Structure formats: structure tokens, C-alpha cells
Amino acid sequence: MKLLVTTGFGNIIQGGADVWTNHFINLVLPELSDDYFIFVDGRKPVGFETSLTNYHFHYDNHNKSEQLLKDCKEIHFLHANYHKREHLWKHKDKWTNIFVHAYLPDMLKYGDSTKQFQTNIDTEAIDDLMKFCKQRIWIGLTDSQLFTDYPNNTITIPNFYEFKKDFLLQRLTDSKIGFTSRIESRKNVHYLDNHRGFVLSNKYDWKNIVELNKHNFNDIKFYQWDSNILDSFMKKDWSISHSCHTNEPFGYSIFQAVDYGKLPILHSDWGDVDYKYRASSKEEFDSMVEIICKDSYEEHLDNWMRLSDWMMQYDNKWAWRDKIKKLF
């Protein structure tokens, strides 16, 4: 038996890593012939549902966790925690593949980001994970310091996004901005200071940054993240997407914004595509909003089409499945 360690999956989506893990379970796992068991290194969320039976949440039963870790032949990290987990560290000799969704040294390059890490992070633990796993798989489409720090047995298999909505770019009616991502330092939610728009994210993270009293979010309407309201949120009357995230590995929410016909402001370092609307600071972001409001719809559409055409290279879920499958 081989363990697939992750931090979440199923119907409760907390971030892009959960989406990626669901894709693995739905597309890759049925193709594998060996006996695999899903080990969720966390607590079972309220409302969790799945049709699977071969899974275990660590905090449900620590004794069962230890038995699974003892009995398994290999341990593969679909998504790991960012801090040391003693029960897993006892079995480092079994660590095999690790899929790297965000590399800590990249994440700590804040730029002008507001330092707001809600995740418990441990640099030594991350080093252990990278060092003792036999192979590292980067899921991003941008470069990473991971390849400098661990040049051997480190490969790239970028994530995918399946376009489904078939929306054309919306005409800009005003300067309202939408933000649909986790709130952490590198996501730069503070760029919304003195703007109008909407945020769909975690209420506790939003509360933390609001209570800093450093930013004017009076014209920002907040919505608690819930996958059931995602579609209606994306169809609200906002046209500009705040997609200006520092060192964004893949950017599922960026693809999603384009899929819904939104015009994103990207970070200057994201994506190898000729695209006009980019920024790398709060000041540049503010200026870019003004430029977008002055530009014609034809200019918007030309850039949006160029971006969406470039994104289509990451649309093939079957090619992604086959590349992942070969690792096992």
C-alpha cells in the first residue's frame, strides 16, 4: 500500500491545492494499478462529503495514522503542510514524490506586500521535505528558486485549467474590481485600498487585514468563500480582476477570471505573454486601473484575447493526467 498525503480534498475547497488534489483523485488515481490510500494530514472540515472509502483524516484517529504510516511502502505528498509533522518525519525513508505547489523561498519574497502569513511555516521542515523526497515536481508555470536549490530530480508538470464558460470579455462599465483568492501576503489584497469592488475569500483572513487599520476598504464588499456562490460572484457587476499576486506559481484564480470574461491586472513577473495590464507595486496597480478605464474596449479585447490564447496551452487535462501517471 502507498500513501498519498494531502492537506484537503473533496467538496470543501480551501485553495488551489485542494482543486489540484481533486483533479489527481478524479483523473489520475483511477488509472493507477497499485493500492493507494489517501492520508489527509489535518482535520475533517464540517460538511465534508466524498464517495471514496480509502481515505483517513489524521486527527480522526492518531493510532490509525501510525498504523497506515507503518504499513505503507511509499509516501507521496500531493500537498504538504508547511511545518514539521512528527508522525510523518518518523518515516522519511519512505518519502518518494512531492508535488510543490508553492516554494517557501519564493513565497517570502514579498516585494511591497503586507506581511500577513496565516499559515504556520517552518523553513527547516520545508528543507527536509525537499531534501528527503526522491523527486520534486513543480506545478507552476513560472520559474522558481526550487530549481536553483535542488537542480537534480526536480521536474515541472504545470497545473491545468479547463475552460468551460465560453464568456467573451465584458465591456467595462466602471472601475469595480473583483478579488477571488486566498488572503496571504503575496496575494496583495491591500492593493484594493481606496478602490471599489468585491472580495470572495476567508472571513478570518479578511478580518485580520481590515483590523490593521492601514487601508481604506470602505467601498469593498466582502463575501465569505463558498464554492456554492462562486458562479454568482463571478457574474456580479465587476470587470477588472485583481490578479496581481507576487510570485504566483500557477494562478488558478487568474485563469478563472479570464474564463468568466474579466480583465485581469497581472503581476509583472507572471506568465510569458505580451500583455499590457501589469503591475508590481500598489502605485503601479492604481495607475493601471486608471489606464484600463481610459483605454478602449478594442484595446481591452486585444490584450484579453492574447492572454486567453496563451492560456489555452494549459487546458489539456488528459495530457496532464498522462504526465502525472508516468510518475507512478
Average pLDDT over residues 80-84: 91
Model confidence over 189-225: pLDDT tens digits? 999 999 999 999 999 999 999 998 899 999 999 999 9
- Please report, as a single letter, which amino acid is at residue 289: V
Stated as kind and residue range, the H or E segment containing 75 is strand 74-77
DSSP H or E run through 270: none
| Per-residue model confidence (pLDDT) at position 97 | 97
DSSP class of 263: E
User: How, if at all, do strands 177-179 and 2-6 pair?
Assistant: unpaired
In which band, very low, low, confident or very high, does the pLDDT at 114 lie, cut at 50, 70 and 90?
A: low
pLDDT of residue 123: 87
Helix (H, G, I), strand (E, B) or coil at 115: coil
| Out of 19-28, 116-125, 230-239, least confident range | 116-125
Question: Which CATH code fits 177-313?
Answer: 3.40.50.2000
* pLDDT exceeds 80 at position 185: yes
- Please give the single-letter amino acid code of residue 124: E
Q: What is the pTM of this model?
A: 0.91
The C-alpha cell 522558481 sits at 144
* pLDDT score, position 186: 87
Where does the pLDDT of residue 321 fall: very low under 50, low under 70, confident under 90, or very high at 90 and above?
A: very high
DSSP state of 11: T
Distance CA 227, CA 192 (A): 23
Q: Has residue 121 got a pLDDT over 80?
A: no
Q: Calculate the average pLDDT of the chain.
A: 93
Common-topology check for domains 2-161+316-326 and 177-313: yes
Range 123-143 average pLDDT: 94
pLDDT of residue 113: 55
List the beta bridge partners of residue 223: 200
Of the chain, the end-to-end C-alpha distance in Å amounts to 13
CB-based contacts of 24, cutoff 8 Å, min separation 6: 4, 78, 324
Mean pLDDT of 229-258: 95
CA 261 to chain centre: 20
Q: Cα–Cα distance between 87 and 93 in angstroms, integer?
A: 13
- Residue located via cell numbers 470574461: 261
Phi, psi of 282, rounded to the nearest 5 degrees: -60, -40
Cell of 21: 488534489
pLDDT in tens, 287-301: 999 999 999 999 999
Rounded average pLDDT over 146-150: 96
pLDDT beyond 80 at 320: yes
- Model confidence at 227, pLDDT cuts 50, 70, 90, reads confident
pLDDT per residue as tens digits for the range 163-182: 988 889 989 988 999 999 98
Give dist(CA 102, CA 144) in Å, integer. Answer: 9
The DSSP bridge pattern shows strands 36-40 and 55-57 to be: parallel
Please tell me the least confidently modeled range out of 116-120, 152-156, 157-161, 180-184.
116-120
Tracing cell 511509499 back to the chain, one arrives at 74
Inform me whether the pLDDT recorded for 110 exceeds 70.
no
37 forms beta bridges with: 3
Residue 118 has pLDDT above 90, yes or no: no
User: What letter would DSSP give residue 45?
Assistant: P
Q: Which residues contact 221 (CB under 8 A, 6 or more apart)?
A: 197, 198, 199
What span, in angstroms and rounded, lies between the C-alpha atoms of 295 and 89?
54
Percent of the chain predicted with pLDDT > 90: 81
Pick the CATH number of 2-161+316-326 from 3.20.20.70, 3.40.50.2000, 3.90.170.10, 2.60.40.10: 3.40.50.2000
What are the extents of the domains in the chain? 2-161+316-326, 177-313
Amino acid (1-letter code) at residue 53: T
